[in-house]
Chain A
Amino acid sequence: NAGVTQTPKFQVLKTGQSMTLQCAQDMNHNSMYWYRQDPGMGLRLIYYSASEGTTDKGEVPNGYNVSRLNKREFSLRLESAAPSQTSVYFCASSEATALAGGDEQFFGPGTRLTVL
């Protein structure tokens, strides 16, 4: 099993450009998540999907959109990138349909995004 995979690993964008970060998991997990990690800020939840066909906002959703294409795939789109979106983006998945009581999240390797 590959676990959680993310593409691309690195990306440089110019301000105003758009792009989609791809995430896939092969563990048959119900829930999937997108986080960003900035120095000194820890991981912040952008969006999550508790099941196929549902998505909800997390702590920092502004400037992002997501699509839960099927049970395996959860993509994150930046429509008009801004320098403030320079960050490391992690996708994660977990088995449960709701995060309660010890639900382990498995993280992908991350995407390092720079917006100039």
Chain B
Amino acid sequence: QKEVEQNSGPLSVPEGAIASLNCTYSDRGSQSFFWYRQYSGKSPELIMFIYSNGDKEDGRFTAQLNKASQYVSLLIRDSQPSDSATYLCAVAQYNFNKFYFGSGTKLNVKP
């Protein structure tokens, strides 16, 4: 079982729609949760982090965390073609060397 699971996609949504990206993790001791965006051939860049149950909003992005269900999601409102990328979920424990990335979900936003 992988530490962090993501649907590889591709997830296709029309421009202006809401894109919903999901991630599950196996270790209940996980404390910090991150969403990175990676354009093809580029390095990952942080979009958001969350470590409390509930929602965290930043512009068009909302991260949702449910520790009881071991589930993290990222919502992108008003999706734009420029949002087309692979989105990586990352999970960390307080003990640093347990830091895991999912394999990523590829998002395509169609004009």
Residue positions of A touching B, CB distance < 8 A: 31, 35, 40-45, 48, 50, 56-59, 90, 98-105, 107-110
Cα-based distance from A98 to B32 in the complex (angstroms): 12
Q: What's the minimum C-beta distance from B23 to chain A, rounded to whole angstroms?
A: 11
B97-A108 in contact (CB<8A): no
**Contacts A101-B51, A104-B46; A43 near B96 (Cβ below 8 A):** no
**Interfacial chain B residues near A104, Cβ < 8 Å:** 46, 49
Q: B interface, by DSSP: helix, strand, loop or mixed?
A: loop
Q: A50-B96, A104-B46 are in contact. List 19 more A-B contacts (CB 8 A).
A: A42-B6, A42-B88, A42-B102, A42-B103, A43-B44, A44-B101, A45-B97, A45-B99, A59-B100, A99-B92, A99-B96, A100-B32, A100-B96, A101-B32, A101-B51, A102-B49, A103-B32, A107-B43, A109-B42
B96-A48 in contact (CB<8A): yes
A110-B96 in contact (CB<8A): no
In this complex, the interface size class of chain B, counting residues with CB under 8 Å from chain A, is 20 to 34
Residue of A nearest to B32 (CB): A101
Q: 22 A-B residue contacts at CB 8 Å?
A: A35-B101, A42-B4, A42-B6, A42-B101, A43-B90, A45-B97, A59-B100, A90-B43, A98-B94, A99-B32, A99-B99, A100-B31, A100-B92, A100-B94, A101-B31, A101-B51, A102-B32, A104-B46, A107-B44, A108-B43, A109-B42, A110-B43
